[in-house]
Each structure stands twice: as C-alpha cells, then as structure tokens.
Amino acid sequence: MAEGAPDRAGEHAAEPRRGVELPPGARVEVRNRFDGSWSTGFEVAEAVPPPEGDAPATYRVRRVDDHAVLNATFRPDDVRREPQRRPFW
C-alpha cells in the first residue's frame, strides 16, 4: 500500500514520520506483512540500532495482552503510533 493511500476501510493511512523515534512502551500498530493492513495491540519493546550508520533503527514490539516480545523486527514505516481512542459521549 502506498503511503497516504486509502486503506480497506476507505480511510487514509497515516504516513510514517521518518526521524521520529518511538520510545519503549509507546502503543503502536504494526503493518501486517501478508495483506498490508494495520494490527493493533502492540507496544514498542525496544529500538534496535542499525548495523550501518545511515540505516534507520528497527523496532522490536511486544503484544500488550500477554507481554510476549515478537522475534521479528519492524522497519519504521511498518510501525505507527496507535491513534487515541475517543469516548462515545
């Protein structure tokens, strides 16, 4: 999916912000590698420094429900802050 392109719900996906590092504990959504959709229920476990000086850091994420840290790392454009939920009233 192209940056800023409509997602399956017809809403525009937030464009990744380069150069903004997410701190550990930040609630995030991760891009599903199979279909490009965004999955909720994660937080940043750690930022993994790049092996090369100019490459961006990657992120290791933890599932919020069971605190399991995923083995995979995610590029910055595959992680975005979880939107704030608004109350219904």
pLDDT tens, residue by residue, 44-88: 999 998 877 777 889 999 999 999 999 999 999 999 999 887 777
pLDDT tens for 18-36 read 455 899 999 999 999 899 9
Helices (H) and strands (E) in the chain, counts: 0, 5
Has residue 77 been placed in a domain?
yes
The dihedrals phi and psi of 33, each to the nearest 5 degrees, come to -75, -15
Residue 31 pairs with which residues in a beta bridge?
38
Has residue 6 been placed in a domain?
no
Minimal CA–CA distance to 73: which of 39, 40, 50, 41? 50
Residues 1, 16 contacting (CB under 8 angstroms):
no
CATH of the domain at 58: 2.30.30
Tokens 């990657």 belong to 58
Has residue 33 been placed in a domain?
yes
Number of domains observed in the structure of the chain = 1
Has residue 73 been placed in a domain?
yes
Enclosing domain of residue 72: 27-81
Residue 58 pairs with which residues in a beta bridge?
48
pTM as predicted: 0.69
